[in-house]
Each structure stands twice: as structure tokens, then as C-alpha cells.
Structure 1
Amino acid sequence: MAEIAPRVCARFHRAVELIGSRWTGAIIQTLLQGKTRYALIKSAIPDITDRMLSERLRSLEAEDLVTRWVIADTPVRVEYELTEKGRSLQNALQEIGTWAERWIPLENPPDEATDQHAADGSTTYRRTRAAKGA
């Protein structure tokens, strides 16, 4: 069995803890769409509290994943944007999303569009509706 270098494990563990904190992935995913106001981030993430969102944004800023911009306007606006370091998480988050779609069932799935890929490469789209109580 191959021996695992402690430094590799420590880096991996730190990265997973960083992006795996509750709400952090959703915040980064939202910010991947571009510079965004606080209120829009909050509305994009159901159930996150103001306190938790503020805490996570401060943490992401301290890790140099997010930049906070204060716009001197009336009223003053605050916007958040991913740094290069934050944007570099895009592929990793896409892979996690792909994995989640395959392996994590939704408790109450909404109506969703699904697609089927034929052998010839064409795609057929269909709408599905989750049965109530299923």
C-alpha cells in the first residue's frame, strides 16, 4: 500500500474544511456568477441567516477567496466578488455538483427538466414531476 505524505493530507483536509463549511459552497457558487450585492446573495440561498452569511463572507474574505467592495452611493452599497483564488474553485464545485446530482437524492424534488442522451449524441428533453408524498 502506498504511503500518503502528511503535507498532502493536511492541504486536502484544510481545503475540504474551507469549502465544506455549511453555506460556503452555496455562497461561492452564487458568486461564480459575478460581482453580487449582499441582498442578492441572501435571496439566492434559502434559509441562510444574515448573521451566518456575514460570518461566512468575512471568513471567505480572510482566506482571500472573496473581495468586499463598498460603493459610496446613497445608500452605501456593498458588493462581493470572487478573487482569482476563489474563481479557481469553479471546476471543483462543478465536479461536486455533478457528483451530487448523481448520488444525493432530494427529499422533496421540485419539477425538474431532465435530459436523455442517445447513442448518436442527440439529446431529448422531457419534464418530470415528482409524485406528492414520494
Structure 2
Amino acid sequence: MRKENSTNSINERSLLEFCKAHKALSQISGRWKLSLLFALYEEDLNYASFKSILPDISDRILAKQLKELVEDQIVENKKDKVQSLYILTEKGKKIVTTLTALGAIDET
């Protein structure tokens, strides 16, 4: 846990207050989050499918990053009696579309 009065904490609060892009980027930062988002852009997935697509991700990290994406309303976890399915929300789709457009800048 970071100290409230540390320089890093103060800088973080300033960035969040004055730079909306920083907030968006902080929600998708993480070693695996972009891979998870792009996988979900292709199709809705259950937990086991993530493990087959991204075999190097640990269970702990996969669960943590999916939980954070759900909390930030980028991904939705639809549960029924049979399975739990992860899908991109509209916000998540906009993020992936924007990232795809940014990637296309180099191609022009």
C-alpha cells in the first residue's frame, strides 16, 4: 500500500484529476489486460478458454486482471447455472476500437 503523502501518491492524484487519458490508461495497464481485451473482441470466453489462448498467464493473475476489468466496467461476467462467460461491454469495445486505430497510425 502506498503512503498517502508520498510523492508518487501525490503525482497519481494530480494525474487523475487533470488528465482523463491517464485514468483510462491506468484501467488497461497490466501485463495481460490488452491480450485479454483483444481475445474478448474476437469472441466471448469462459475462464478455461483464456487459459488455452494465453497458457503463460497464471491463474492468480488471470483472476486478478479479469476482476479489475469487471470492476472498471470494461468486461462483464455473465453467470448462469452452467458457466461463467466474459464479454466486452460497450466501453470495452470502444477501448479496443481506439487501440486498433492507434495501431493503424504506423501503417499509413
TM-score class normalised by the smaller sequence:
0.7 to 0.9
Please say if residues 16 and 22 of structure 2, whose CA atoms lie closer than 8 Å, have aligned partners that are also in contact: no
The sequence identity of aligned pairs, in percent, is 29
Cα distance change of structure 1 residues 8 and 34 upon mapping to structure 2, 3 Å threshold: farther
Q: Which residue of 2 aligns with 1:84?
A: 90
Hey, which of these two has a bigger chunk of strand by percent?
Answer: 1
Please say if residues 29 and 93 of structure 1, whose CA atoms lie closer than 8 Å, have aligned partners that are also in contact: no
Distance in 2 separating the partners of 1:50 and 1:96: 30
Gaps of 5+ in 2: 1-14
1:90 CA drift (Å): 2.1
Instruction: Tell me which amino acid in the other structure corresponds to 2:44.
Output: K
1:48 to 31, 35, 57: 57
> Radius of gyration: which is bigger?
1
Q: Which residue of 1 aligns with 2:38?
A: 29
Please say if residues 67 and 81 of structure 1, whose CA atoms lie closer than 8 Å, have aligned partners that are also in contact: yes
Hey, which of these two has a bigger chunk of helix by percent?
Answer: 2
TM-score, scaled relative to structure 1: 0.60
1:68 CA drift (Å): 0.5
Instruction: Tell me which amino acid in the other structure corresponds to 1:14.
Output: K
Gaps of 5+ in 1: 1-5, 103-134
Q: Aligned pair 1:68/2:74, yes or no?
A: no
Higher relative contact order (CA 8 A, sep 6+): 2
